[in-house]
Structure 1
Amino acid sequence: MRFDTRLVHAGQPPTPGSADLVPPIHVATVYDRFGQPDRRYFYGRGENPTREALEECLAALEEVPYATTFASGQAAAAAVLSLLTPGQTLVCSDDVYGGTHALFDAAARSGVRVTPWDLSLPDAGERLGDAAMVWVESPTNPLLKVTDLAAAARAAHDRGALLVVDNTLAGPALQQPATLGADIVLHSTSKSLAGHLDVIGGALAYHDPDLHARLRDYRTTFGNVPSPFDCHQIHRGLKTLALRVARQCDSARLLAEALQDEPSVSALRYPGLASHPQHRVAERQMRRPGSLLSFVYAGDPEALMRRVRLFAPAVSLGGVRSLIECPALMTHRPVPRPTRLRLGIDDHLIRVSAGIEDPDDLVGDLLAAVRAGGSAAR
């Protein structure tokens, strides 16, 4: 089956005996050990049919045999970091989601050597040293750097390291890192996969059965499982992923093009623009350039976010509603300011997540808000 067909059909077989085209939500926490033919199910913290249906679909979308879902993207990321032991080295993208920064800080306190590096640079593969794990976000959040994933996989595997790719910003509709060599693909399923800003979840996808066993055992031990209802919500959202992402990418491109000549906008970042440093890499490994853009605004970020009507000033991304945020005030506020500035996260950086509203309405709303602030000196 092609990708759009897998979105609708994978993990959705009719329920035996009912011909039900929408599988039910299995809420049971315990199972009759003698009432099931294969006795596969034991306790809801370990096994659940609704959760497994979602995992089957996610694995199919990333073109791997295995996927494991978690209660949040943070929980999924923490599970990956559990594979490291004190003294080992983690080389990671320097520009990552604010919550990932916090997880890396916790890993460092437990004895893991965490080495941030700009993995979008052409010579990044030469800087991996003795890494046991290489963690790539591509595109990154919020600067939208793009890493050559195939090159990163070769460099990591030459050192015997695992390559982890956080695919949250792009999602499987735009890129499939496992097909480019990634060992583990990470998702916050709260974002574009669920798509409606109404559920929290995370997932990992991979080829290796040993990794699958280790990460499932970790989840069962620590209990960070998603609820059956959350899994059902995410699986329902997946059915419209391709349609939503196509509209969002169209709108993001129009927004980026409209902002290019605005005098109060600088450092505009969108992988679909020829001016983006990794534009060619994005063209090669992504089907579309994505639904996010960021820029530095010469005016007051808070005033800008108060002026927009259609963009909700809120964190998260990839949903049907368009969102706007200032990372320094919101998602990356816990990151120390000197670190933010060193990474290029300006106090006036604005990140926009395009939703599925009419593209012309979005462009008009954002341009009006940008222009109303003028080009006041920063």
Structure 2
Amino acid sequence: MSSRAARLAHLHTPGLAKGDPLAPPLVLSSVFHLPGDPAGARQYGRYDNPTWEALETALAHLEDAETVIFPSGMAAITAVLFPLLKSGDRILLPADGYYTPRVLAQRFLSGLGIEFDTRPTAGYLDGGFDGYRLVLVETPSNPGLDVCDIRAVADAAHAAGALVVADNTTMTPFGQRPLDLGADIVLAADTKAPNGHSDVLFGHAASRDAGIVATLREWRKLSGAIPGPFETWLMHRGLETLELRFDRMCRSAETVATRLAGHPAVQEVRYPGLPSDPSHALAREQMLRFGSLIGVTLASERQAEAFIEACPLIEAATSFGGVHSSAERRARWGDAVASGFVRLSVGCEPTEELWRAIETTLSEARRT
């Protein structure tokens, strides 16, 4: 991935004329000059946009697959599920992954005659995949950080005739390569680390199947699930520093997770990079990095909330992947975790300064 990272900031330059701007242009127009036969020309802002194309080129470069962008991660998931499924289909969703796809399936897919089952990530291979049209994996799972074998799931699901979709939000293309491991589609909420600055909602889906990509583009065009040009431009600007930021975040997370595992205020740490973690062996095989998320279980809800509110270098927020470290007690959203479980997202602060703030605040929270 180092060569892809090196070329990422230079994708726009080969076609430049002397005096052209190095930054991709921000094109805000909703209409385009279109005399005569419209074929082969830009037609309307719901169909395409030069700023979209610059970002899709960059994401396709990282994914090594044609990419379609959307205004949020859930818009990308919706764009995969609705046009690729029909009444009578059955899908499998992770029971311990991000909860919104399960709500979407229950509230809307079920009303269209599409049934769904759930299964915990650590046991995703248990029971096989016969009868499923589509299998969605999220690994590491959010928030529990369990891991499943993407290649084994893809092989078994394909043998049963199912499509495999991988939500790679927690890892980015620099941390994990689901398409290389056999997934048919990879998608992500680029709201997180790819943008990195907590100022844009965004998502994308990528595939090496031309038919799937064409369907995704048609869905975006007809449904109107389109990103704004300005948000797209901001997302492109953030993406160019993803490799640098993600490297810092992962390195810091490995240090912080190791030290948290020995802190007396901590009951349990989940982090795939820890040799003691139940997912470590598999994570070491299929992941390029171990990520920037850490699951930290404290003794009680009160201690968890006190830690989050008091730590000066942690923002209390319900997202992750930003340049700032953030944390939240996930049980408040109904996730099946302990009441004192904290999802800690490690940001880009200097590692030792961040650790000192965490260590001091944990010790104080323990006394509450």
The residue aligned with 2:322 is: 319
Gap regions ≥5 residues in structure 2: none
- Write the letter of the residue equivalent to 2:143: P
Change beyond 3 A, Cα 1:37–1:215: closer
The residue aligned with 2:76 is: 76
8 Å CA contact 1:291–1:353 kept in 2: the answer is yes
- The TM-score with structure 1 as length reference comes to 0.91
- Write the letter of the residue equivalent to 1:80: V
Change beyond 3 A, Cα 1:50–1:35: farther
Aligned length: 363
The residue aligned with 2:305 is: 302
Structure 1 residue 175: Cα displacement: 1.1
Give the SS at the match of 1:178: coil
Q: 1:234, 1:108 → 2: CA distance? A: 33
- The TM-score with structure 2 as length reference comes to 0.93
Structure 1 residue 364: Cα displacement: 1.1
- Write the letter of the residue equivalent to 2:73: G
Aligned with 1:117 (options 104, 116, 119): 119
- Write the letter of the residue equivalent to 1:58: L
Aligned with 1:371 (options 357, 363, 367): 363
The residue aligned with 2:273 is: 272
Q: 1:6, 1:314 → 2: CA distance? A: 33
The residue aligned with 2:286 is: 285
Change beyond 3 A, Cα 1:10–1:92: farther
- Write the letter of the residue equivalent to 1:366: I
Structure 1 residue 74: Cα displacement: 0.9
Q: How does 1:317-356 map to 2 (within 5 A)?
A: 317-329=320-332, 333=333, 335=334, 340-341=335-336, 345-356=337-348
8 Å CA contact 2:69–2:227 kept in 1: the answer is yes
Superposed CA RMSD in Å reads 2.0
The residue aligned with 2:242 is: 241
Give the SS at the match of 2:269: strand
Q: 2:314, 2:118 → 1: CA distance? A: 32
8 Å CA contact 1:14–1:23 kept in 2: the answer is no
8 Å CA contact 2:93–2:102 kept in 1: the answer is no
Q: 1:374, 1:190 → 2: CA distance? A: 33
1:50-77 residue CA offsets vs partner (Å, 9 max, x unmatched) = 101111111110111x110011111111
Structure 1 residue 126: Cα displacement: 4.0
The residue aligned with 1:166 is: 167
**Is 2:183 the partner of 1:191?**
no
Structure 1 residue 110: Cα displacement: 3.3
8 Å CA contact 2:270–2:295 kept in 1: the answer is yes
Structure 1 residue 120: Cα displacement: 2.7
Structure 1 residue 34: Cα displacement: 3.6
